[in-house]
Every structure is written in structure tokens, then in C-alpha cells.
Amino acid sequence: MRMDAREMLIKSARENKTILCFGIDPDIPKMEAAIGHGKTVEQTIGPFFHPIIEKLLSENAISALKPNYAYFAQYGFDGLYALEDIIQHYKGKVPVILDGKRGDIGKSSEAYAREAYDFWGADAVTISPYMGEDSVKPFVREGKLAYMLCRTSNPGAKDFEELMVGKKAVFEHVAEKAMEWKTGLVVGATSDAIKMLAKATKNEVPFLIPGVGSQGGDLEMVMDAIKANPAIHRINASSSIAYAYAKAGGKPADAALKEAQRLNSVIRKQF
């Protein structure tokens, strides 16, 4: 029997001794600098990312993949074909989190959930909780995991997420609903709110944690916040791994592995 997404996360974390997630954000100009110009989108994305992913997996440097839908969709159907190629290639080998940030009225969310889980074959998906329970529930499916946006890593998070509703901020109310609705949470590494949220959720709600790479989040602080149950969480790094070669030089896969190992030197203190 196929294990559910939460079990996959725990198993993968323990086997690889890391909770590092590699975010896949295709940026054609950055990739062309490494593999040359004049190629199609599909000839660029796959040949750039496959060697990196294979290297990271072979060295047990990651325990999840997070392709960002928007970065693929910006290149039209060719970008989406590349997304399909990556998901199908690594599905079953490592948990795949589709970063789509979906969320709509009930019937539309049902359609989006089928797209994420049945069409793309993702194990998990990011969603927006803004429209409430009927927009979230279609993504709460047996064997799958939905991560609700909670306290995100972007500067604009303060515009709504930190607004006070009663005695608690909006993001705190979202965390309470995550426990009730059995979802995960997207919690950025750029705010020490992660400490509060880990405590409030008793470290039993899976966090997807962006912001430790190019956005400059505090990895030590994050690991301290989730140390009671680290295996259910995932710390994401995207461009800082994928395009590490731009600073370090050499082959993209080798530079990516070196950056992942740098992050893992902190993460693995908990394993």
C-alpha cells in the first residue's frame, strides 16, 4: 500500500538525514549562461535541472522537490511539458510538492485539486486559505498534503498576515485552522514567528519553510524552532542552489551540491 505524503516526508528525511527541499524555479537567462543559448525551452530546462537533481539525490542531499508552477507556466506549453517531465521522472523517488498556491470557491478548488494530484501527480501542493474552508477542503485528500500559506517570507506578508483579528494575528488563526483541517503550513524563515507557530501547533503540523537561501533567512533559528519533530518539516532553497554556479563557478550540479551541503551542515545537527 502506498504511504501517504506525511509518511513519505518522514521516511525520506530519516533516510537522507536532511529536511532540505530543492525548489525548482526555471529562469531561462540564468540557465543559458551555463548551457548555452539558442535552445528551446524544453531543451534548456530539463538538461539544466536533471543533472542537478540527480546529483543531489545521489548524494542524499535533499529529501523533497518543489517545482514552482508559475516559473514553468511563464514559458507556455513548453514550460509545462518540462514540468511534467520533471515530476514524472522523480515521482516515487522523492516527495514532490507542487508550488501552485491554489485556492478558489469550492467547485473551482475541486478542479484545481484534481489538476495538482491527478494530472500532475504531486504528493503535496501549496494553497491559499483566504477564501476559507470550502476552498481548502478539496485539497485535503487521503494520501496527500496541502500546505496553507501562513506567515510567508515576503516583505508584503505584514499587509494582511500580521493584521490583528481579536487578540491574534491572521497568520495565527490560519495555524489554528491547519490543526483543525489537517493541513500543513507555509512558514517563512525570515521571521521569528516560526518559533511561535511551532509551539502553537505542538510541532505536529508539517511546515514548508522558504527563505533560507537568497532571502537570507536564519537557518539556525529555524532548526531550533522545529527541533522537537524536524522530520515532518521541509526547509526549501531554490535559486541559491540551482544557480550557485554563478558565484562559485564550475558545473551547475557540483556548485548546487556544495551549496546544499553547506545548508545540510546546519540541518544535520538535528539528525
Instruction: Fold for 5-270, please state it.
Output: TIM Barrel (3.20.20)
Q: Which helix (H) or strand (E) holds 114?
A: helix 106-114
DSSP label at residue 96: B
Residue 147 DSSP SS3: strand
What confidence score (pLDDT) does residue 2 get? 63
DSSP label at residue 247: H
Question: Which of 11, 39, 91, 101 is flagged as catalytic?
Answer: 101
Query: Does 258 qualify as catalytic in the annotation?
Result: no
Tens digit of each residue's pLDDT (9 = 90 or more) over 149-176: 999 989 899 999 999 999 999 999 999 9
Tens digit of each residue's pLDDT (9 = 90 or more) over 208-260: 999 886 666 789 999 999 999 999 999 999 999 999 999 998 999 999 999 99
